[in-house]
Every structure is written in C-alpha cells, then in structure tokens.
Amino acid sequence: METLFCKVDPVDPDKKIIEKAGEIIKAGGLVAFPTETVYGLGGDAINPGASEKIYAAKGRPSDNPLIVHIAELDKLEALCKKVPDEMYKLAEVFWPGPLTMIVDKSSLVPKETTGGLDTVAIRMPDHNTALEFIKASGGYIAAPSANTSGRPSPTLASHVRTDLDGRIDMIIDGGEVGIGVESTIVDLSEGEPTILRPGYVTREMLSRVLGRVDIDTTILSGTDKKAPKAPGMKYRHYAPKGSMTLVEGETGAVVKRINEEVAAAKAKGLKCGVLCTLETEEDINADVKKCVGSRNDEAAIARSLYRVLREFDEEGAEVIFSESFKTDGFGQAVMNRLLKAAGYNVEKI
C-alpha cells in the first residue's frame, strides 16, 4: 500500500487534507494524526474491521484496548452505558486535553475496539488538527499511539513513517507534539477513581476536582506481582533496542558511575549511549550523548524523551545509561516511561 504523507499547519490544517483523511476513515482505512501528547493511529472506532486493521498495522496484541477519541462532548453519551458525574466534572476542567477516562461501554462500541472488555477509554485531544480530523471522520476515532508495538511512541511524523510507511493509508504531519508522553488514564468504571497510567494531568490535579483518587500500584514498580489494570501497561514498552540501565543517586556520584559503566562496556567493544541533562552533559563521556534539557524541567524531558530513545537506535547504541529524575507531579509520568524503557533495570548508588 502507498502511504500518503501530508504536511499541515497544526493550528489551521488544510481543509482538503482533512476531508481526504475523513473519507479514508469512513471507507474503513487508517490515518496517523498529531495530538498534543503523541501521534495516534486512527481508524473508525465503531467499525470492528478498522480496529482489527489497527492491531495488524502496529503488530499489537488484540487484547490491548484502544482509546476512542472524540471532538465534541455531545458524542460522549452514545459511547457510554451511563456517563458518571465524575466524567462530566473532569471533562469540564481537562477536556480537550491529555486525560483519558475509562467507563462502562455502550453497545455502539464494538469489542474489537475495547480488546474484548466491557469498558471503553475515551479522550478529547487538545489539538486543532486532531479535532478537525475526528469531526470529518464521523466523530469517533479509535487510536493507539502510531508506533510499531513495543517501540517508543512517535512525537514526530517521521517516527510514524519509520514504523508504519506502507502499512497505513495516510500520515498527517503536524510537526512536533507539545507534551511528548501519552495521556493520563483514569478508571471511573469501578470503586474509587484510579490512575492506570500517569501523564501530564497529575494525581494532585485530579484530586482537586474529585477528592480521593487512587493510583495503580504497578505504575512505578516492576516488582509488583499484580498485573496492571490497563492491559497495555504490562508489555515491555517505549523501549529502545539497546539494553538500558537507570542510575539513581546524588548527581555527582551518578555521573561518576555512568562514566565507569561506559568505560567497562567500551572495553568489551560495545557502543554506548547516555541520556544526560544540561547539568551533566559536560562531565559525561560516551559515544552517543543525548541531552534532554534541564534535570529540573520535566516538561522538557518529556518532550524529548521518545525522540532521544529512537535516536539511540538510529545511532546503534548497544548499551544505554540514564540518570534518574524526580517522581513527583509530572515527573511520575516521565519516570514511569523511563523505567519501562529500561525494563525496570535500576542501579541505586
């Protein structure tokens, strides 16, 4: 299949391109599109055949449910068995935005879209191109991140092209995304509202609206024997091809340890990559050094994280080391993705 590649102004996308994308979706095809978090791979959420195509294009296990994206609040009721009050409260504050909510699904949503579950994940992205595209497509777009399963999520259209060229109908290039890690997922389908995946919208932000909010204990721990409730969180994910280790401790000591590890790996003939920061870059010695911004700026780290993980692959890093970051606020989402990329391989010093 030939994949159409179309550049747009993300704020004011060309109407003809959006119309074309809408036609492709209505005919059961697949279109990758930018959102404020990461690029999504869109298909018609209420067409079971389209969801099956999404799984096939990504090489994704079909028990891993998709998020349904909407552009207008009046599309919500048709997707849900009942819209809980909490959902309206959170939508008012955080939509459009990087928050996905899980609720019991209606019969409109096919099981192919929800990986066989009776619940559905829904979000309204904060991105003009995404919103225009969803409207032109009938209003319900099922979209996982537009990467091959197991690879870092795409933050640039070129990442989507690397993974999915020839496997999907169209890629809409809206430039680099703003946030860089996937949306926060909160489960409203049973018991207390519970965060299943951390993101830009933090527990503190949700608590200000809802009061008590729990958090899935598997999020920052690879040792918890319990399976995470979001099926996708159990897979090794976000991962570069090289084997990755996080080093945690006082910054000076971390730099020293990383340099020792790099020297040892080099002695074995391995090409080394280091994910470093403005504060440590100068003191790190490695074949491939990637700076993600200041240690104290989680938003900057989030924005460059997946791009840098892909660059390690492109430059052939076989072993990768990274410093660790704060785990409060948005830092929790950043560390959750880094820990997964490293397969929870952490050296504490």
Interface ranges with ligand TXA (CB under 6 A): 35, 37-38, 40, 64-67, 100, 102, 114, 117, 119-121, 123, 125, 143-145, 182-183, 185, 196, 229-233
Q: Which is closer to ligand TXA, CB of 24 or CB of 230?
A: 230
The option from ligand TXA, Mg ion, none interacting with 336 (CB < 5 to 8 A, set by class) reads: none
Binder of residue 206, out of ligand TXA, Mg ion, none (CB less than 5 to 8 A by kind): none
Closest separation in Å from C-beta 244 to ligand TXA: 20
Cβ neighbours of 344 (radius 10 Å): 13
Structure tokens at 324: 């660790």
Site stretch for Mg ion (CB under 5 A), options 5-13, 144-152, 165-173, 283-291: 144-152
Query: Which does residue 40 touch among Mg ion, ligand TXA, none (CB within 5 to 8 A, set by kind)?
Result: ligand TXA
DSSP H or E segment with residue 209? helix 203-210
| Residues contacting 176, CB < 8 A, separation 6+ | 155, 156, 303
Quick one: what does residue 120 bind among Mg ion, ligand TXA, none, with the CB cut-off 5 to 8 Å set by partner type? ligand TXA
Q: Helices 203-210 and 85-94: crossing angle, nearest 10°?
A: 130
Nearer to ligand TXA, 41 or 255 (CB): 41
Q: Give CA–CA dist 76/73, Å, rounded.
A: 5
Residue 128 interacts with, from ligand TXA, Mg ion, none (CB under 5-8 Å by kind) = none
What, of ligand TXA, Mg ion, none, does residue 183 touch, CB below 5 to 8 Å by kind? ligand TXA
Q: Applying CB under 5 A, which part among 21-29, 143-151, 157-165, 188-196 lies near Mg ion?
A: 143-151
Nearer to ligand TXA, 54 or 317 (CB): 54
Under 8 Å between Cβ of 226 and 218: yes
* Comparison of 22 and 198: residue with beta carbon closer to ligand TXA: 198
**Under DSSP, is residue 103 helix (H, G, I), strand (E, B) or coil?**
strand
Residue closer to ligand TXA by CB (options 129, 280) is 129
In 3D, which of 196, 225, 32 has the Cα closest to residue 130? 32
To ligand TXA, the closest distance from the beta carbon of 5 in angstroms equals 18
Contact call for residues 32 and 157 (beta carbons, < 8 A): yes
Distance CA 161, CA 3 (A): 9
Residues 129, 137, 145, 189: which binds Mg ion (CB under 5 A)?
Answer: 145
Q: Which is nearer to ligand TXA, 47 or 119 (CB)?
A: 119
Q: How far is the CB of 4 from Mg ion (least distance, A)?
A: 23
Q: In what order do the strands lie in the sheet with 214-215?
A: 4-7, 170-173, 31-33, 40-44, 141-142, 67-69, 119-123, 99-104, 184-187, 194-197, 214-215
Choose between 152 and 193: whose C-beta lies nearer to Mg ion. 152
Nearest residue to 40 via CA among 138, 168, 135: 168
| Whether 210 contacts 203, CB under 8 Å | no
Residue 76 interacts with which of Mg ion, ligand TXA, none, CB < 5 to 8 Å by class: none
HSE-CB for 200 with a 13 A CA cutoff: 23
Residues of this chain that interact with Mg ion (CB under 5 A) are 145
